[in-house]
Chains A and B, each alone.
Chain A
Amino acid sequence: MTEQILLFPVLLPAIAGLLMVLLSKRFGSLKELIAVGITLVNLVLAVYLYPMQMSYAAQWFGSGIEFSLRLYQFSAFILAAVAGFGFLIVLYSVAFMRTRQSLSQYYAYTLLSLAMVNGAVLADNLIALLFFWEGLLITLFGLIFIGGPSSFKSAVKAFVIVGITDLCMMFGIGLTAFRAGTLTISQIHLPLDAAGAVAFTFLMIGAISKAGSMPFHSWIPDAAVDAPLPFMAFLPAALEKLLGIYFLARISLDMFELTAGSWVSLMLMIIGAITILLAVMMALIQKDYKRLLSYHAISQVGYMILGIGTAVPAGIVGGLFHMINHAMYKSCLFLTGGAVERQTGTTDLEKLGGIGRKMPVTFICFIIAAAAISGVPPFNGFFSKELVYDGALERGWIFYAAAILGSFFTAASFLKLGHSAFLGKASGAIKETVKEAPAFMLIPMIVIASGCVFFGVYNALPLNNFIQPVLGGKIDGHSFAGWPTSTMLVAITVTVIIAALANHWYGISRTGKGIGAVDHIHYAPVISNIYNMAEKRYFDPYNIGLVLVNGISRVAWWIDRGIDWIYSSFTVKVTYAASTAMRKLHSDGYPAYIAWALAGVIIVIAVTLKRI
């Protein structure tokens, strides 16, 4: 019985989710109650399970494909974090979604997503993992789809991008299972030789795509605009990050032995660095609250991938710590965005302004989360970033430079966002009667924002209890908790933040508006051209991919038509020509026939004579 308790985090939300679809529309409030209740039960269960270690296995497909779940330190920690976010965001949705259409579908997909994420976190068999992992595609599609009449394009884009990377992961799993001879994750320990690196790369594609890294990111900004807002805080900002980075850590630490010298490590660091920089550059110029945040959701993944990719203890611990920190401050930021959207009716930064005084709680939560993401001490983001810097510097100054430059732009873009939304003056579009958001929405924001402070000030708690145990022997009992060891790195970080403030002040003095704070970067020569092309989506890997696919398909189409021509035209013409020619042989009257007959006789005689 005891092991079967592991099924509950998967089954409970799944059953509740299906119930949402089956129950009639009249039970609207009952559905909200069920959703909140189930996520609360899930949270209690996750906390209860946290100190335990157990496995559950059931017969499933056979051929090594078992339905096996394993609870241990790492998965228990992620499970608890997922449960926490799940509960808070559902609570938030009660107020946010109430007026929306398709409430049943929203809760159904949210609960099913929770079940899938729980399943994927607990899975101890690669196919069970992939089953839940890919199953998330459907709920992802559904959640974006219900956003509005035109959101299906973003939904399809998300589905295609994530679906393709999931297939890559399927291929990677096939390669891994072939090399390891087993599908049980806890039994796989492979060296990173040539074949191992290929398998690793395909698994990694799945992991970083789920986390939303470049080049698999481009659906996130689109979804930010189209999908219901709690979705953004729920999946791309929190759960998918946790899941993707969790799996990346599993493959880098347990399944394969990632070493600092390998090219795989270098590849991860390059992906991380590029993601940090390019995404933050795009975030800088956004003029929509949600879209700006979504680019940061991409950029911050870069730090996690960079950290884990360094393959040195400080970097890995930093990357994992950043994962949990990011989930906190980014979901908090999205929730503040939701509060602003609900109370003012817009997220357009051109229209917003001066709402800080009317929504003080939201504003304070925003300040805390924005300071955390910008790496201001003593919030949680500061400590995890310092660890990533430390690891990156150990592997090469260029990676450190990319990371610190990213921090500069992060700080600059949040100064711009905060200034233009909460300070200054509103343009006419915003009503004077804007009020603070309802309590259901404030509570989750306050809880998460205080978490950001708590995990910063008492960073020993998460580091010593949750993250360092995951690495086990790799860090030799060394603790990364407390104030960063390198004073020089801290000094540089502080300098960068001051530089960002200076930059902001310069920008405002030029344009006089919060939203114009980065215009001097945006419209700088050369850069503005690149920005223009990026805004027109010339660099969107999805669009490039579609053009490529169309080109290849066109070739395939001509091959197909060519083959068809052989059947439909060529064969017909040849047959017709041949029969016409044959018919002519028969239309010349008796002399011709006699000539043919004589010729035949002669040939027969000649052949017979030759035989003899």
Chain B
Amino acid sequence: MEKELLLCIVFLPFAGAFILPLLGLMSKPLRNYTALSFVLASTILSSLLIPDVIHGSTFTFAWQFPLGFNFVLQADMLAVFMAIVSSFIGCIIVLYSFGYISHYENQGEYYLMVVLFIGSMMGIVYSANLIFLYLFWEVTAIACWRLIGFYREREIVIRANKAFLVTVFGALVMLIGFIGIYAQTGSFDMDTIRVASKNNPISNTLVLLILFGIFSKSATLPLHTWLPDAGVAPSPVTALLHAAVLVKIGVYVYARLFIDTFTIDPVWQTIVPVIAAISALVAAGAAMIETDMKRIIAYSTVSQIGFIFLGFAINNEMCIMGAMLYILMHGLAKGGLFLCAGIIEQNTNVKDITKLGGLIKTMPITAITFLFCAFSVMGIPPFGGFFSKYMVIAGAINGGQSAIAFVFIVGAFLTIIYLFRLFTLIFMGEMKTADAKEGSPVMITSIVILAGLSVISGILIYYPSEFVRLAVNQMLGMVQ
């Protein structure tokens, strides 16, 4: 039963996406609700897996193909966690799109691509074969290319091409790494590689090649500049890229491959945190200077992704727990920030924060939601971001990397400053734009859900933390 469930989780959105434009010809609401239900199905079906995986069991769906191209889907706790987080935030974003996208052209393509995007994310999450991982990975690149270029203006299409070229270039380099893995271990299957690499660690060259792909997808220095540029996309798309799906692919695959599957040289426990630290600081600095609202939040994502990489790179329980919680908390809060930015952008037609101001008077709900999400990103209790930040920092200290942990604390200082700069320039002071209204009810509902969950996930931290702890035990148990 569970095996068919796995297939549904991936293929319901992945294949179902293609009927959406057809449905759109019949009725637009029908198309919209079907899109939402496909994504929601992934969330719910993945949640159904919890009772089974929570005891540490995994289950697998496999079709055998020659030459190592086996199609294998495998569910363990890490995969279920990631699937629920992404598809849930995806749901909220689709819901928000009902309001945001309703007066633009190409809606059919929009919903097709969004659902395809989330479907292939599910594919990446559950894949236990490197080749299929790569295939789903490239599908996300295509979806992301179409979505960033949604508005079709020349400048915007160039930005979309840039994002596509950088991520696909990274992916091709990663593919070379995968082929190298095949040469070394004789398989693309993760289970086989796990056993084979135990006594024979993956060579550093291959790790570097794969890291190249991961960094390009997760927008880490020096492969990050496409992400701020992607801010030209519609806001729900940027939320999808930054919070739910795209950048989380990279960190997820890092955890899946380098913690769960491969045995690698411990030297990466220093190299990756150093890269992440530089990335976190440079991006935070850029966020201080930038004046485009969405680009600032995008730089903030680059910076926060550094914290997640730090967590995954230092291989101890606390750090990995922290990083997984970080994925959850950052997803909720950053998604909320982008969706708030979307409301502001749409209702004022301004993205330059120096030309905004005083919006708290006319958009109080958006302002408070924005502030709540910002608090969570800063890591202020009782918001969820507090725990994930502490766990990552404390884990890094326990891993003997106190100096790098301090660099990240400095990054956290900057986070507070640039988010407040953003908040005060948009919402405080003199009103500089014509009377702006609140967003439509469905958009407000979406952001309030995200902000509310940011608080609740902090107060009821026990549940996510227990789940994550079991997941980490499972991951580390497999390595040992």
Asked if residues B466 and A556 are in contact (CB atoms below 8 Å), the reply is: no
A155-166 vs B, Cβ < 8 Å mask (1 yes, 0 no):
010011001100
A119-159 vs B, Cβ < 8 Å mask (1 yes, 0 no):
00000000100111011011000000000000011001001
B270-299 vs A, Cβ < 8 Å mask (1 yes, 0 no):
000000000001111111111000000001
Asked if residues A560 and B393 are in contact (CB atoms below 8 Å), the reply is: no
Bound-complex Cα distance A153 to B283 (A): 25
Bound-complex Cα distance A435 to B284 (A): 55
The stretch that binds A, out of B121-129, B221-229, B439-447, is B221-229
Q: A177-B394, A556-B285, A567-B225 are in contact. Are A138 and B416 (CB under 8 A)?
A: no
Residues on B with beta carbons closer than 8 Å to the beta carbon of A164: 413, 416
Asked if residues B389 and A559 are in contact (CB atoms below 8 Å), the reply is: no
A232-264 vs B, Cβ < 8 Å mask (1 yes, 0 no):
000000000000000000000000000000000
- B361 nearest CB neighbor, chain A only: A149
Bound-complex Cα distance A560 to B381 (A): 31
Residues on B with beta carbons closer than 8 Å to the beta carbon of A567: 162, 166, 225-226
Asked if residues B413 and A553 are in contact (CB atoms below 8 Å), the reply is: no
Residues on B with beta carbons closer than 8 Å to the beta carbon of A177: 394
Asked if residues B406 and A163 are in contact (CB atoms below 8 Å), the reply is: no
B414 contacts the other chain (CB 8 A) = yes
Bound-complex Cα distance A570 to B288 (A): 26
Residues on A with beta carbons closer than 8 Å to the beta carbon of B289: 553-554, 556-557
Residues on B with beta carbons closer than 8 Å to the beta carbon of A163: 378, 380, 416
Asked if residues A560 and B286 are in contact (CB atoms below 8 Å), the reply is: yes
Q: Give the Cβ gap from A102 to chain B, nearest Cβ, in Å.
A: 12
A535-575 vs B, Cβ < 8 Å mask (1 yes, 0 no):
00000000000100110111111011001101110000000
B386 contacts the other chain (CB 8 A) = yes
Max chain B C-beta neighbours (<10 A), residue from A60, A61, A177, A546: A61
Bound-complex Cα distance A574 to B465 (A): 50
Chief secondary structure at chain A's binding surface: helix
- B358 nearest CB neighbor, chain A only: A149
- A562 nearest CB neighbor, chain B only: B222
- B423 nearest CB neighbor, chain A only: A156
Asked if residues A127 and B390 are in contact (CB atoms below 8 Å), the reply is: yes
The stretch that binds A, out of B52-60, B173-181, B237-245, B397-405, is B397-405
Asked if residues B382 and A59 are in contact (CB atoms below 8 Å), the reply is: no
B461 contacts the other chain (CB 8 A) = yes
Chief secondary structure at chain B's binding surface: helix
Query: Apart from A170-B409, A560-B285, what are 7 other A-B pairs with CB-CB below 8 Å?
Result: A63-B321, A164-B416, A167-B416, A171-B406, A174-B393, A553-B284, A560-B286
Residues on B with beta carbons closer than 8 Å to the beta carbon of A559: 282, 285
Bound-complex Cα distance A132 to B290 (A): 33
Q: Give the Cβ gap from A71 to chain B, nearest Cβ, in Å.
A: 22
Q: A61-B462, A170-B389, A171-B409 are in contact. Are A560 and B225 (CB under 8 A)?
A: yes
Residues on B with beta carbons closer than 8 Å to the beta carbon of A167: 379, 409, 412-413, 416
Q: A63-B321, A134-B386, A135-B381 are in contact. Are A563 and B398 (CB under 8 A)?
A: no
Q: Tell me which of B382, B391, B393 contacts A131 (CB under 8 A).
A: B382
Asked if residues B162 and A553 are in contact (CB atoms below 8 Å), the reply is: no
Bound-complex Cα distance A211 to B394 (A): 25
- B289 nearest CB neighbor, chain A only: A557
A34 contacts the other chain (CB 8 A) = no
Within 8 A of A (CB), among B87-140: none
Within 8 A of A (CB), among B403-430: 405-406, 409, 412-414, 416-417, 420, 424, 428-429
Bound-complex Cα distance A552 to B278 (A): 13
Bound-complex Cα distance A174 to B391 (A): 9
A168 contacts the other chain (CB 8 A) = yes
Within 8 A of A (CB), among B151-165: 162
A473 contacts the other chain (CB 8 A) = no
Residues on B with beta carbons closer than 8 Å to the beta carbon of A134: 380-381, 386
B318 contacts the other chain (CB 8 A) = yes
A173 contacts the other chain (CB 8 A) = yes
Within 8 A of B (CB), among A61-109: 61-63, 65
Asked if residues B285 and A131 are in contact (CB atoms below 8 Å), the reply is: no
Bound-complex Cα distance A168 to B429 (A): 30
Asked if residues A552 and B285 are in contact (CB atoms below 8 Å), the reply is: yes
Asked if residues A59 and B462 are in contact (CB atoms below 8 Å), the reply is: yes
A164-188 vs B, Cβ < 8 Å mask (1 yes, 0 no):
1001101101110110000000000
Asked if residues A160 and B416 are in contact (CB atoms below 8 Å), the reply is: yes
B375 contacts the other chain (CB 8 A) = yes
- A557 nearest CB neighbor, chain B only: B289
Q: A160-B416, A171-B409 are in contact. Are A63 and B466 (CB under 8 A)?
A: no
Q: Tell me which of B379, B398, B409, B424 contacts A156 (CB under 8 A).
A: B424
Asked if residues B162 and A568 are in contact (CB atoms below 8 Å), the reply is: yes
Bound-complex Cα distance A560 to B290 (A): 11
